[in-house]
Structure 1
Amino acid sequence: MFRFITKRPLWVNILAGIVLAVLLFVAVISSLGWFTNHDDAKTVPGVTGKTLAEAERILNDAGFSVEIQDSLYYDTLAPLQVIRQVPDELEVVKSTRTVYLTYNRALPPQIEMPNIVGYSFRNALMVLENAGLKMGDTTFRPDFAKNSILEQLYKGVTIQPGAKIAMGSKIDLVIGSQLSTSMYAIPNLIGLTTAQTRALLDTKGIILASIIPDPDVRDTANAYVYRQSPQRFDDNGNIISIRSGQVMDIWVSVAAPAIDSLDIKPLTDSLPE
């Protein structure tokens, strides 16, 4: 069956093979355009900055399909605004190509509040920024820990680490400042309620550290102080001084204690040991 090959000279067979290979190559190259729709290409319209609905309409009208690739949150951008598109604007691609979109969320995601109490002011700012939060108002309070964070507040209320909070929220900071050189006589807190005590100490920059209630106390804010530490007087009857930024502790009960009319010192018979 191979006589038609063997009966011809070798150079004829070689020439025929070369011609056949060239024809096959030309045929394959010519058909690529048909197989790949080479001439069916379009320019991708730019939709970055447009709303998600508007972007989908523009791309669909241009013959492209659309898929959502991701969603992020930036409080400086409009809700549902397209942030990024792939392929990019003005790229020439097949008309059946899918365009992937990343858009800005309509609502901020919930994140966990980090613990920045005790951090230096600079480190606290870095932690807030990395968590997607912002610094709000700052207030200073005399404290030994200068330039450290004493309290973290959200809308005026202490926020605990791990509490859920919207990304981009502002966190107010209470920062330790240098202890004041002003000295005050330790105030007499006996007979005051806890709320009155706190207000009085705040005016002098003194920190109410501990509130120790009796077992029957249910509302510490309206309970009465019957013991304080440090006391107003030393063992020799001299008034003790205290500086802004230092702390005091109080013991509270339901009933108001008896008060020494001379305001020299609290009655010791009302102080349980």
Structure 2
Amino acid sequence: MAFAILFFLLILVFSVLRIYTRHGEMHTVPDLSGMTLNEAKEHLKERKLIAYVFDSVYSDEFARGTIVEQHPRHGFKVKQNRKIFLTMNAMNPGKVAMPDLVQLTIRQAEARLQTYGLKLGMISYEPDISINLVLQQKFKNRAINPGDTVIKGSVIDLVLGKGLSNEYSYAPDLTGLTLNEATLRAAESYLRIGGIVYDPEITDEEKETARVYRQKPEHNNGGQMPLGSSVDIWLTNNLEKIPSVEIDSVDSYAPQDSIY
């Protein structure tokens, strides 16, 4: 009888030790990026870890409803039953109130658009006493008022003033710039981007990184351009097509009174 009790106690002690040892067992956090929540839960369950949705964002770079970030990161060693905090890509983009850009400079307007998660689109000019200040803000070719609801990531077009006097400018050097950078550089010379031609092999996803390798008119042709004129650009991702760039200061292209 005493032997049976001793045997039972030994089994109980070893069982408790086994449970305690497993409780401190370490598991490697898997890479959950790009997975749905259900997929992540299954992967974590196999490792005795717990999925916990901590935040959500919206990004065009990830599929909707998938994981964009996790903490701890994959590869970390953690104890079982540890919560893995997940940031999900929202199923629908968030909405923001349209900011008031009127009477801002192009640089100020672009910075404010970025703050609200919006993108700068096309720039056009109209005669006005103000020069290079925002006169109108448009969404899908229609005026949009401050406070109107718009989806994050939307493209906002701007109308700027080009003054009332007979002034002219010169085409700046846009070589090596992205479309967004070229748009801002042209605006600093009181000009706008006209035709946009991408290399045929460039996909929609690659357009943001494409750079200007040709422009018309060229920056060094010496021709005068009325304020608000357009510059056509050609863009590529083939660096061999992009000439070496000689950066000139923006002041070189400041508008001047016409001699005509």
| Structure 2 length-normalised TM | 0.54
Shift of 1:130: 0.4
- Aligned counterparts of 1:140 and 1:174: Cα–Cα separation in 2: 5
Give the letter for the 1:171 counterpart: I
- Aligned counterparts of 1:92 and 1:153: Cα–Cα separation in 2: 51
Q: How does 1:91-130 map to 2 (within 5 A)?
A: 91-130=76-115
- Aligned counterparts of 2:94 and 2:136: Cα–Cα separation in 1: 24
Stretches of structure 1 lacking an aligned partner (at least 5 in a row): 1-30, 183-243, 246-273
| Corresponding residue SS for 1:144 | strand
Q: How does 1:85-96 map to 2 (within 5 A)?
A: 85-96=70-81
1:147 equivalent in structure 2 = 132
Give the letter for the 1:157 counterpart: R
Q: Does 1:181 align with 2:143?
A: no
Higher strand fraction (1 or 2): 2
Alignment equivalent of 1:74, drawn from 54, 59, 68 = 59
Higher Rg of the two aligned structures:
1
Give the letter for the 1:44 counterpart: V
- Aligned counterparts of 2:25 and 2:152: Cα–Cα separation in 1: 45
Give the letter for the 1:95 counterpart: Q
Hey, which bits of structure 1, 4+ residues long, moved more than 6 A? Answer: 31-34
Q: Does 1:168 align with 2:120?
A: no
Greater relative contact order (CA < 8 Å, ≥ 6 in sequence): 2
User: CA 1:178 to 1:58, structure 2 compared with 1: closer, same or farther past 3 Å?
Assistant: same
Stretches of structure 2 lacking an aligned partner (at least 5 in a row): 1-15, 168-226, 229-260
The answer to whether the 8 A contact 2:23-2:80 is kept is: no
Shift of 1:80: 1.8
The answer to whether the 8 A contact 1:32-1:38 is kept is: no
Instruction: Give the aligned length.
Output: 154
1:12 equivalent in structure 2 = none
| Cα distance per residue 1:161-211 (max 9 Å; x no partner) | 1111111111110011132539xxxxxxxxxxxxxxxxxxxxxxxxxxxxx
Give the letter for the 2:77 counterpart: V
- Aligned counterparts of 2:119 and 2:100: Cα–Cα separation in 1: 14
Q: How does 1:1-273 map to 2 (within 5 A)?
A: 35=20, 37=22, 39-179=24-164, 181=166
| Corresponding residue SS for 1:123 | helix
| Structure 1 length-normalised TM | 0.51
Give the letter for the 2:50 counterpart: S
Question: Which segment drifts farther, 87-96 or 121-130?
Answer: 87-96
| Corresponding residue SS for 1:145 | strand
